[in-house]
Amino acid sequence: MYLERFGRLRKIGPFGKVNYHLKTLCICDCGKFTIVYDFCLYNGNTRSCGCLQREAAVKVGKGKRIHGITHTKFNKVWRGIKQRCYNPNNNDYNLYGARGIKVCRRWHEFLNFKEDMHLKYIIRCLLFGERDTTLDRIDNDGDYTPENCRWASVHTQVRNSRRIKPFVGTRISDGYSDNGLVQVDFAGKYGLSNSKICSCLRGYQKTHKGWRFSYINV
């Protein structure tokens, strides 16, 4: 996606007018959205969300900062994937590193990860919110690479995860059975209730609309 650039800002689109002056929504390289006067972009007065000035102040005070988004959630995602894949003490290592899942060489550098994934991240956050934006591998057995990763909702992520346990549903009337991986999909397929399937699987109820459910041990 191409967005016109002004310093650190990239222009997304018009955002109303104030006193006949057009205002514009922009994304800053630091990850913040900012609304600025359109003419200030063109006359060069506005070149960041304000982070340029702040960083200049920090530089004078505490020395240099490399990329300015060290503590953002986006950076946390990047640190998280490296931990899962390479730190045997990480809680999720057995689902990633131990299964041979790697982070591609290019993404061992944060700035490369940022270049490949940050704009898509910002746009998805704008549309769906940051809480519902997680990094998802399209092929669950594949590595963390630009080709195999996308930003998706937490729901998609859970659906794709190895943590989900396969189960079988059996219709008592005729003994017909079908395997399921995601309760909500199974519920949709047969017109059942997602939460009732879950409570059958957890043993809180025995049947739901004439179906029995049990986990398949794999």
Ramachandran assignment for 162, one of left (phi > 0), alpha (psi -120 to 50 degrees), beta (any other): alpha
- Please identify, using beta-carbon distances, which residue of 28 and 117 lies nearer to Zn ion: 28
State how far the Cα of 218 lies from the Cα of 155, in Å rounded to an integer: 23
- Please identify, using beta-carbon distances, which residue of 32 and 114 lies nearer to Zn ion: 32
Contacting Zn ion within 22-51 (CB under 5 A) = 28, 30, 32, 48-49, 51
Under rule CB under 5 A, residue 81 binds Zn ion: no
State how far the Cα of 45 lies from the Cα of 41, in Å rounded to an integer: 6
In the numeric block, which tokens belong to residue 99?
């299964």
- Residues 129, 152 contacting (CB under 8 angstroms): no
- Please identify, using beta-carbon distances, which residue of 71 and 206 lies nearer to Zn ion: 71
- What sign for the dihedral angle of Cα 82, 86, 88, 94? positive
- Residues 114, 69 contacting (CB under 8 angstroms): yes
Shortest CB 37 distance to Zn ion, Å? 16
Candidate ranges 20-28, 69-77, 117-125, 130-138; the one touching Zn ion (CB under 5 A): 20-28
Shortest CB 50 distance to Zn ion, Å? 6
Shortest CB 121 distance to Zn ion, Å? 15
List contacts with Zn ion (CB under 5 A).
28, 30, 32, 48-49, 51
